[in-house]
Every structure is written in structure tokens, then in C-alpha cells.
Chains A and B, each alone.
Chain A
Amino acid sequence: MKSTDDHQDDSGWRILIVGTGGQGVLTAARLLCDVFVYQGYQIVSGQLHGMAQRGGSVQSSVMIDSGISPVIPRNRAGFVLGFEPVETARALPFISPETVVYMNTTPVVPYILGQRSILKQMGAEYPDVQELVDCIHSVTPCAYAFDATELAIEAGSVRAVNIIMLGCLLGSGLLPCTAGDFWNTVTKTMPPHLVTANNNAFSRGVELGKSFRSGERKP
């Protein structure tokens, strides 16, 4: 059942999806789970979202044929889908030189930052996005940063960032499923109006993933 690709070893495929509440992290994870279960793989998925609410940090892992633990160990993510720059940087402990990172460059600035100086609260400022990209790139050569939010808006909805990112992941050809098969399986159970709304976003993501893979677009 396993391919011979270099991004998969004895421990299957480990995908970490990170973002903020409202960006569709958990939905993306669920779609991956659904498709790979349907295709006969063993799936384990974990989630962490403390007090779930809009704007909080959200992490979800999807493990395909990799064992029974729902938590990715340090340096052992095969893939990171970062829906937001700071959240992607927060995932650095899971990233190794072999990890493939797809990263959205549009920030979701925590509301607290503007209010913090007024409320005399301590804490980090929002970092320069390019510095975050460089930081991730210093760990893995396979880090691809792009404005997924803008692509989602072009494709019809800002809410489609998660579908762009999934498209990118499937377009890479590094998972044991073609982008076409993936989308066919997803759309079997998706309400028709959502299929229409997301078709475009998915195919744009796939194109992007393919161009990264072929080297046509550099990290």
C-alpha cells in the first residue's frame, strides 16, 4: 500500500496542520482522514485547541499508516501545512530538514497586540513574516511560502485557504493518492454548493503544489 517516495519511511506519512480558530484547520484534517480511511489506510488524528474560540491557536495532526500515537514527535512531521505565519513558526519543533512545509504568508494578527501597550501587558510583537519564512527555511530546504489568502480570495472566498493548502499538498504528488482521486472522494460527501465554491480553490492549490514539485517555482 505504501509508495517508495522519499517522504515516507516505515512510519508512514505524518502531516501537521496549524492555523488559528476559524481558518478551517480541523476541517482540513477531517477531509484528509475521510479520504485516506476511504482508501483503506490506517489513520490516527490528533487535535489541540485549548479553549476553542475564534482566533486561538489550532493544531491538528493526521497520521497515515504510521502507528497509534496521535501526537507527532519532535522533528518528525513529514509535512506541515501552515495557514498562518506565526502558527507555522510555532510548529518549528516538529520540522526537520526532511519536512515539506507549505506556508501561508498572510498574518492573522492577535487582537491583543494593539491593545497590549495600553493594558500594560508584556509579550512578543508580531514578527516580520519574511523573518519567519527565513527561519523555517533555515531548517528545511523544502519550505514553500506563498499568499494563500490572496489565492483563496481570487478563487472565490477567503474561507478557502484550507482548500488551497490541501490542494497544494495533494498537488505535490508526495502522498499516496492523486489530487484527482482525493477531490473525487471529498466531493462524494460534500454538499453540492460547497463543491462548486471550492473546486476552483482546490485546483489552484494543486497547480501550485505541482509547480513546487517540478522545481518550476523555487521555495
Chain B
Amino acid sequence: MDAASNHVVLRDGPGTPVCLLGNLAIVRGALEAGVQFFSCYPGTPSSEVGDTFAQIAKEADILFEYSVNEKVAVEIAFAASLTGARTMCGMKHLGLNYAADPIATMPYIGVEGGMVIVSAGDPSVITSPNEQDQRHFSHFLYYPVFDPATPDDALRMTRYAFEFSEKTRLPVILRPTTRVCHSSGMVTYESLPANKNRIHFTKDPARYVPIPANAHRMRKELTERYRRAEELLGTSEFFPRAGSGRYGIIASGVAYAYATQVIQDLGLERQVTLQQVGAYPIPGGVLADFLVDVDSVLVVEELTPLVEDRISLAAFRRRRDIPVYGKHTGHFPVEYEYTPDLVEDALRDYLRLQLREKASVVVPDLPTRPPVLCPGCPHRASFYMARKVFGKNTVYCNDIGCYTLGYGEPLHSCDVLLCMGSSISQASGIARTTGRRTVAYIGDSTFFHSGLPALANAMQAKDDVTVIILDNYITAMTGFQPSLTTNSREPGGVQVESRTTGEKGMRFSIEETVRGLGVNEIYSVDPYNEDATLDALKKAKNGVGVNVVVCHSPCAVNEHRLKRGEKRAPFTIDREQCNSCSLCVRLLGCPAILVVDGQYMIDQELCVGCGLCAHVCQYDAIRQSNAKKT
């Protein structure tokens, strides 16, 4: 490996302290373990793991791909593991659900090369539609789950997890949460390995094919391997204990970091015994030893009371009748992420210290800064045109991506939403029961992720559904990862975002794809071409069964980011002509349109010259300025 690399995760220099983002610490841990294969589907807060691999894959000699969805990512990585490769797979918590089908059977078959699935969690639903606790995949599907509290934990756990996975033949899950993924902390590098696993596939169907006869045997072996995993974890460094006070505190994830900090800040080291739970299944010995040395327990863990239930059970089995405090006793809530203050208040209560006064500072009522579609976003044009044609009574089913921001005022383009790929199926359900044509919005990446089966289903049922595919050539919301329609995708190999304007590699054709599913009524439009788009949408509205309108227009921010595309002059509003009818705001809600003391104007910095507002204006007051933007 090139020691002179510029990327921080590829630097050599064992023993050097480095301050690293949690997600990058995971990448470094995998590199130190000799990872050979990486696949992922992006999702906040996990995306930087995949994006970093994308940057270094060639240099580090790693097979890399942004997969079409998480299920495919997991299946590919698992198969690569069967050839002996150390593999890693990245996704957010929801992706783990989508991939749960292969995930459920993989432990039965077992891995050859170590396999680590990074599934980042999002307590407090900061960037997700739900919060869930992936730690349950441990006793649910026999996965060892690592639960880092800090970037340092994340690095050491990842590094350890590959060999551990090989020893137990179990794939493992690493579950960092937003606060670990997106925090930076000190880590210490070890050397990058000189050698990696040998790649070789030995045919052995009895080992790799879980037909019932084999699965029956595998089931028994799995119990044994999972027991062995618990035993190995008992000898690992991920269950550190500090202090010898009789007040027991047991903590996991970032909540462990908060507990450590509070104990340090309040100087409670002599009163408490602090036990970290860094992985699951929690080795029985860890709980047993801890229970002997304390007179009571406070459990500090986010989301579900998993550790709390385990330790209560362990105490019951050992006839150790001591109080266990946590979520069941109201010391902590089950919902949302913890904060250092929440942990401090619970600790003060537990240790009978003086409680703090409630926050006395009154924060004035402040305006918020909600996310909106960017200036020049082609989705705004598509939403505006479709609503013009389909009207306010049509049900608009939306999907996961930037276009979810079609929700609410003023675009009114998101009446229902569920999960990745659900817009088409939901449109089918609503069209079938109401008997009315229903619109589904879905982006290019999400369409290939999980919209395809729903479209095939709608076709066979002949549902009255108009699917509007918003193709901006990129997976924008998670940080501009390439999608199938990104023109620089190199088939079959490592895909790297091309920074040129040229048509390199292949661009997947959405039209050919949907035609292959039997859709006959397909319209391809540029949403900024008003006449053509309105015309296509009108035809689709009057169509029979499933029809598809593909709106092609590149993500404005990505074009700007890559410094490509034509720079267009911003628009201005002629104060003489403008009669303050407010139509531009009421229909578009573009952040570049400002209303100051009743005057309408366009922010020249924000405007990218898309011209949609000029189309909307009835008084011809909005015009492109002469100045070319630099």
C-alpha cells in the first residue's frame, strides 16, 4: 500500500494519534483488518463510510461498489466472503430491514472471509422516518452486534470484528449511531497489513446450500457458533469496567461516553462502578461479575431496554435481589437519543445527589430554518407542472429522497410516504380502492432500489397509476453518490464519479427498463420545457392503466459542485411590473424569492437562473438579467 497517500485513513504510522470522524474510523479499522471488498447503499448517517471507500478503493486495492440496494449489497458481499475475501457492507438502520431476508439465513451458512455489516442508527429520527434498535439482531437472528461509544471504539471494534467473524464463521453487525458516526475523536493507528486473505472458492454444496436437510443441521451448528461468539466476546476488550463503588452503572453506545463524562465532571469515580457493554450477546460472565460487585444498577442505554432486561434476568437467575433502574423505572425514556444532561440528571437522582435546577435561561422565540428544495431544483418544476395538470384532488404518493420536500406548502406533492420504493405500491393501493388515477413520485436511485418490483406489480394489476420518475442523475440527498443513471458509471467495475462533462461509461435507460416491464405509455421530458412537460402529463392523466413520465434534469447543486453545466444569469423582478400577486411564492416556494416589506425580489446569489418563476409570473415581471454569472 502506498504510504505516501494523501487520504488520512491510508496514512501509515502506527502509534500516531489521529483525530478521526467516527465513520472514517470504521474505514480505518477495516483497512487495518485487510478488508478486500466493500459494497453499500448510502443513507445518513452511514454515508461517509461508503464515500470514503469510494475515494480510496483503487489505491487500497479494494473491490468497491455503490450497490443498487442494501439487499444486493449484502448478498454480493456475502458471496465474496464465501470466496475467502474480508468484506464489509454499509447502510443505515432502514437498509438492514430491506436486507433482512438474506441476513436471516447468512449465519446458518456462515462466512469464510470475515464479514462486517455497518448499519448506522438514527435515534431521535434526525434524518429518518423512524428510530429502531438494531442491537436486537443479536438474539433475533444470531448476529454478534458491536456497539461503539466513540470513534476509537469504532476503529478497534471494526479491526477486531473481521477475525472474530472468521473464528465464529458468523457475519457481524457494527451499529454506530449518529453521534458516533458524525463525531470526531482520538484514535491510534496500527499498521496496515502487508497480506490479505487468499481468494479461493471450494465447491461444497452441503456447506453453502441451505435446503431444509442442510438447514436442519446448520441450525444446530449455529447455536454452537453463537455460543462460541459469546465466549470469545467475554475475552475481548469491549467490556471495560472502571471504579469499585457499590453504585453500579452499566452503559452502552454513546450513552457510555456521556456516563463516563458525567462521572468525570462530577468527580464520582470512587462511588460508582461503571461497566461498558460494547457488544452483544453480552457474555454471561460480564453480567455475573458486575452483579456481585454492586448493590444496585443504573442502566444507561438509548432506545429499547435491552441491557436492562438482560441484567434483570441475570440478577433473577442468580438470586441477586438488587434494584435495577433504567427505562422501566422512569429514570430514562425509551424514545429519542440521550443527552449528557439527561444522563447527569438520572445519575444525580440515582446517587441521591442534589438535583440541578431546571434550566433558568429563557430562550426567546426564534425562527427556524427548515430544509427546502434548493433554488433551481428540477423537482420543483416537475411538482409544479404535475399539480397544474393533475390538480389538488389527486393523491400524490411520494418516496424517499430530496423530493420528499415536496411535502406541505406550497408544492403539496406528498400526501403519503412510507419507505424506500413505496410510492408506486402505495399509488396502486389508493388507485385500486378509490378508482381514481393516482400519482407516484420516485427518484432515479430509489426507483432502481425498490421501485421496480412495485411497477411490475402495478403492470400486472393494470392499476391506474402515473409514475413520475424524477431523474436527476444522482443520489443527491445522501451526498451525491452515483446512481444507475449517473453517466460515468463504469459497468462491472469500480465506479468513480467522473469530473468531466463528457458522456463516459454507460447511462442506464429508465425508459428501456420500464418498457421491458411492459409499460407502453412512456414520456420523456425535461421539466424545464414547460410545453412538452404539460403535454406529456395531460396525456398521462387521460391514459389507461400504468403510464410513466420520466423527468430528466440534472441536480442543480451537483452541477454547481462539479463546476459543469452552463452558468445561467440570475433572474430579477421588475418592481414596476410586479403587482405583488404572490403567485410565484404560492406556487413554487423557491428560497431565492425574497419578500421584504411586501416587495418581491430575487436573491442574486441564490438564483441559478432556472427561470421557472418567470414561467409562473402572469405579469411578465420576472426576467433574466444580462449579467452572466461567474
> Binary interface profile of B, 365-376, with partner A (CB < 8 Å = 1, else 0)?
111111110100
B residues near A92, Cβ cutoff 8 Å: 361, 363
List, in ascending order, chain B residues with CB within 8 A of A115's CB: 585, 589, 593, 595
A127 touches B (CB below 8 Å): yes
CA distance A75 to B477 in the complex (A): 34
B409 and A121: CB pair below 8 A? Answer: yes
**A111 contact set on B, CB distance < 8 A:** 372, 591-594, 603, 606
For chain B residues 360-404, which have a beta carbon within 8 Å of chain A? 361, 363-372, 374
Q: Is A44 within 8 A of B591, CB to CB? A: no
Instruction: Known contacts A56-B369, A68-B149; decide if A89 and B257 are in contact (CB<8 Å).
Output: no
Query: Could you tell me the distance between the alpha carbons of A187 and B603 in the complex, rounded to whole angstroms?
Result: 34
B517 at the interface (CB under 8 A from A): no
Q: Is the CB of B150 within 8 A of A68?
A: yes
- Cβ-defined contact, A93 with B363, below 8 A: yes
Q: Which residues of A contact B591 (CB under 8 A)?
A: 55, 111-112
B585: chain A residues at CB < 8 Å are 115, 118-119
A156 within 8 A of B: no
A44-B185, A51-B371, A69-B260 known; A90 and B366 CB under 8 Å? yes
When chains A and B are docked, how far (Å) is the Cα of A54 from the Cα of B603?
14
Partner of A139 from the list B17, B149, B179, B361 (CB cut-off 8 Å) is: B361
Rounded to whole Å, the gap between the CB of B267 and the closest CB of chain A is: 8
Q: Which residue, B179, B185, B258, B371, has most C-beta atoms of chain A within 10 A?
A: B185
Q: Flag whether A165 is at the interface (Cβ < 8 A).
A: no
Q: A44-B186, A73-B341 are in contact. Are A119 and B586 (CB under 8 A)?
A: yes
A-B contact count (CB 8 A): 151
| Residues of B close to A89: CB separation below 8 A | 363-364, 366
Q: In the complex, what's the smallest C-beta–C-beta distance from A166 to chain B, in angstroms?
A: 17
Least CB separation from B410: chain A residue = A119
User: Which of B179, B344, B586, B595 contacts A46 (CB under 8 A)?
Assistant: B179
Chain A residues near B371 (CB-CB < 8 A): 50-51, 53, 56
Q: Which residues of B contact A47 (CB under 8 A)?
A: 182-183
Give the complex CA separation of A101 and B367 in angstroms.
21
Q: Which of chain A's residues 40-89 have a Cβ closer than 8 Å to chain B?
A: 42-48, 50-51, 53-57, 67-76, 86, 89
The CA of A119 and the CA of B591, in the complex, are separated in Å by: 13
Partner pick for B264 among A11, A34, A50, A120, CB 8 A cutoff: A11
Which residues of chain A in 89-125 are interfacial with respect to chain B, using CB atoms and an 8 Å cutoff? 89-90, 92-93, 95, 110-115, 118-121, 123-125
A135 contacts the other chain (CB 8 A): yes
Contact yes or no, B367 A33, CB < 8 A:
no
- Known: A37-B18, A53-B374, A73-B341. Contact between A86 and B261, CB under 8 A? no
Question: CB of B582 within 8 A of chain A?
Answer: yes
**Chain A residues positioned under 8 Å from B618 (CB to CB):** none
- Distance from B312 Cβ to chain A, minimum over Cβ atoms (Å): 27
Cα–Cα distance between A113 and B182 once the two chains are bound (Å):
30
B361 touches A120 (CB 8 A): no
Closest 3 CB pairs of A and B: A114-B595, A70-B183, A69-B261
**Known contacts A50-B126, A69-B261, A115-B595; can you find 10 more A-B pairs with CB under 8 A?**
A11-B265, A37-B18, A67-B265, A69-B340, A73-B262, A73-B265, A110-B368, A112-B367, A113-B367, A131-B364
